[in-house]
Amino acid sequence: MPQDEENPLPARLAVATAAGRVSVTFRDKAFKSRTLVLADGRTLAVEKSTVTASDQEQLALLDRHPDFERVADGA
C-alpha cells in the first residue's frame, strides 16, 4: 500500500483533508451500536459496528479507545 511522507499511514487510511478536517472510519470491536459522548458534549454514533471521526478530537478519542480499530476505506 502506498504511503506519503507526511502521513506514515497507508494511503487507504489517510487522515487528512483541508484545515484539520479528517475522515477516518473505525470498527467497534465490542458493540454494533452505541453513542459516544465527547468532553464538549458532542456525540458520535456507532452504527453497524462502525463510526467515522470527522475532526482531530474525535480521532484522538477513537485512536486511544481499546474497543476501536481503524479500517480500510475500500479505495
Residue whose grid cell is 472510519? 25
- Does a structural domain hold residue 35? yes
pLDDT of amino acid 67: 98
Residues 6+ apart with CB under 8 A from 52: 23, 24, 25, 26
Q: Could you tell me the residue range of the domain that residue 36 belongs to? A: 22-70
DSSP reduced 3-state for 57? helix
CA 36 – CA 69 distance, rounded (Å): 15
Q: Is residue 57 domain-resident?
A: yes
- Is it the case that residue 7 has pLDDT exceeding 60? no
Partners of 3 in the β-ladder: 10
Structure confidence by residue, pLDDT tens digits, 40-57: 999 999 999 999 999 999
Q: Are strands 24-28 and 50-53 parallel, antiparallel or unpaired?
A: antiparallel
What is this structure's pTM?
0.69
Number of domains the chain contains = 1
Q: Does residue 75 fall inside a structural domain?
A: no
